[in-house]
Amino acid sequence: MRNRVVITGLGGICGLGTNASAIWDGLRSGRSAIGEVTTHDLHNLKVKVGCEVKEMPDHGIPHRQTVSMDRFSLLAVIAAREAMRQSGLVEGDADSYRMGAVVGVGICGWEAIEENYRALLLEGKNRAGIFTVPKVMPGAPAGQVSMDLGLRGPTFGVTSACSSANHAIASAVDQIRLGRADVMLAGGTDAPLSWGVLKAWEALRVLAPDTCRPFSADRQGLVLGEGAGMAVLESFDHATARGAEILGEIAGVGFSADASDIVAPTVEGPENAMRACLADAGLNPEDVDYLNAHGTGTKANDMIETKAVKRVFGSYVKDLSVSSTKSMHAHCLGASGALEMIACVNAIREGIVPPTANYREPDPECDLDITPNTPRERQVKVALSNAFAFGGTNAVLAFKGV
């Protein structure tokens, strides 16, 4: 029998708030934190909306540590510290060699890249900053979380564009299921609100000029945001042996690849990932109460996800509550799935489905029950979280109460 994997701590930071509780308060009230970006230099950009962390919290991380961090690593460590505090784990509660970290990242440390380009190309400096390489590497957040919390077990980064967090969480689940670890910190982080990243996304012509309106007929694209979400995952036996409060269980994971196009998704890829997740969890479609959709707000993505969901859930789709919380925290790339994990776990715990904010017009091509604008009270025993990415890499997680 495989190890059950439970969640004993959650941490997060994004435009909605600087901790997981504040983020959930924003989500369940339907508050969108999307607006004009003011803390980053976005000169010469056509689109200047995003979802930013307006003011960093007093995190207490020493300067000798932060000097080697790019922003995405700092966000990850802040979220990981919060998750660890909530879990109640203290030194001696677990063998540090059986505690690890997996952190998903959609892009690298772009803040440091731009700082160095500016210094070398505009200011005429002769060399890059000494910490440039450890700052920018995609695996940096996992390493920084490991060092900050003293985790000496399986530790690595995962990068698969917009599904990075779900892949990271699933990879951490595997470490526990396989008996390689008792405790894993898992989630995702990204800080894409820099000039170069936004300029590149602008070229794709998928950025909305005002806000994110998933599944609404007048949607105009996605909005980028920054943030991080982390969870303490434990084997059920380890958590119960130390008397931990269990917030929820990761019942199953599912993967697939479109093997089709680098940016255009298929219906079959997302469909197969959802089916694989349900099979891994031992669930039927009718067992799922809430689906946190990938829901980016682009014309094609929302329409294709709708078709995939209808294929998987069939006649039961009419009983399925769906929402896209990206309408409130925006698309935080490698962090999105981790922030959506916070939504799923709390939806189960409190019996509240967070809404799809900014919704204005029904779209016959997106005719799911997308919980428009207002949260809904309903019993949620099982929640699914979808993540579909450029490259056709799909990852779906199933959560349930304990």
Domain parsing of the chain, residue ranges: 5-241, 252-400
The CATH class for the domain spanning 5-241 reads alpha beta
Beta strand 49-50 with 248-257 is unpaired
14/28 Cα distance (integer angstroms): 15
In whole angstroms, give the CA distance from residue 348 to residue 380: 5
pLDDT value of residue 92: 82
Distance of CA 53 to the CA centre of its chain: 15
Letter for the amino acid at 394?
A: N
Q: What is the mean pLDDT of the chain?
A: 97
Q: Cα angle vertex 52, ends 390, 73, to 5°?
A: 70
| Residue ranges for the chain with pLDDT beneath 50 | none
> What pLDDT shows up at residue 41?
81
Token readout for 151 is 């985790």
Question: Other C-beta atoms within 10 Å of 197: how many?
Answer: 21
Report the pLDDT value the prediction gives residue 39, as an integer from 0 to 100: 84
Q: Report pLDDT for 130.
A: 95
- Residues 235, 257, 338, 74, CA torsion sign: positive
**CATH topology for the 252-400 domain:** Peroxisomal Thiolase; Chain A, domain 1 (3.40.47)
Q: Catalytic residue positions?
A: 162, 294, 331
pLDDT at 72: 98
Q: Is 345 helix (H, G, I), strand (E, B) or coil?
A: helix
Q: Is 46 exposed, middle or buried (0-12, 13-18, 19+ CB in 10 A)?
A: exposed
Report the pLDDT value the prediction gives residue 90, as an integer from 0 to 100: 87
* DSSP conformation letters of 149-213: HT--SSEEEE-BTBTHHHHHHHHHHHHHHTTS-SEEEEEEEE---SHHHHHHHHHHT-B-SS---
- Model pLDDT, residue 191: 97
**CA pseudo-torsion sign 323, 325, 328, 334:** negative
Both tokens of 123, joined, read 């200011």
- The pLDDT of residue 91: 78
